[in-house]
Amino acid sequence: MLGDIFNANFLRKLESLCIECKRTYSGTRKGSYEMVNKKGTSVEFADYQAYVPGDDFRYIDWNIYVRLDKLLVKTFKEEVELSVHILLDSSKSMLFPKEDKKFDYAKDLVIALSYIALSSKNSVSIATLSDENKTSRNKTPFLQQKENIFMMADFLRGLTPEGELDLVNSILKYVFKVKGRRGTVVVISDFMMKPEVYVKALNFLRFKNFDIKVIQILGATELDPFAKIKRGQIVDVETNEKKIINLSESNRKLYKNYLEEHNRQLRHFCRTNRIVYSLAKTNVNFEDFILRELPRIGFIR
């Protein structure tokens, strides 16, 4: 089962979408992602490129050569398979605050994005980002058929967030496991970490030539956790460190300003480095986020 939200009508809407990719990759199977192919194995003409030694003489446009004295080679559009890597933060922080249900929202996001990719004849793998010493099951194989969405849903149901997230190490190990299989990588997390951590991790994905997309998940309680209390004990859910805090109005404003600045830095880093960024709030209608917000920012089309 995929969950009540994934009714037949919603699934049909997802089938009409595909994940946007700004980079060019070669593929082994037909898919919905267009790339320019200089070998001319597709029938749809794309453009001309200057001839370079090694190009096939059969695709030189001799009419242009006669008129302009230039050797230009016809290129063609070819639809190839796009590998989609969905990396899900499954550290303990994704369970808190409990009322925000961040991890449930994140799992629904993974199902929706996986179904879009599978419907587009692309291959998809889901992997968890967490403390690997506490996670026994952390990756699916690359799957290619729409029917595999139920296997992915089973994988997600078996996950229990735990431990502290080591984002850099988790991403390095994942990239090593997929052995150079590049494509679009979607990182889903609350990103409650120091900026230098996500900068290092995302820069590594950039260095490896992935097309990167980021979804930050936060809930209403996390955005304003002290609305109904004036004094209390807070506990770091990943390290169990405890602190007593007094919650004056000025402290509430200070927290809000720190959180907004933290999110602004993440958003700015992503946009500066051509990483598609979106903030998903768990109190916002899920279907609207998928069908309206993600197409608006160029995440899907």
Strand order, beta sheet including 83-89: 123-129, 83-89, 184-189, 211-218, 276-281
Residue type, 194: K
8 in the Ramachandran plot: left (φ > 0), alpha (ψ -120 to 50) or beta?
Answer: alpha
Count CB neighbours of 272 within 10 A: 8
Cα separation, 268 vs 264, in Å, equals 6
What does the CA dihedral 227, 267, 194, 131 come to, rounded to 10 degrees?
90
**pLDDT tens for each residue of 2-27:** 989 999 999 999 999 999 987 755 55
pLDDT digit string (tens) for the chain, length 301 residues: 898 999 999 999 999 999 998 775 555 455 554 444 444 445 566 678 888 777 777 888 888 888 888 888 877 655 556 899 999 999 999 999 999 999 999 999 999 999 999 999 899 999 999 876 554 468 999 999 999 999 999 999 999 999 899 999 999 999 999 987 889 999 999 999 999 999 999 999 999 999 999 999 999 999 988 776 667 677 777 778 888 877 778 888 888 999 999 999 999 999 999 999 999 999 999 999 999 999 999 999 9
Cα separation, 155 vs 178, in Å, equals 18
CATH class as words, domain 8-24+82-296? alpha beta
- Tell me the domain boundaries of the chain: 8-24+82-296, 33-80
Q: Which residue has the tokens 């969405």?
A: 149
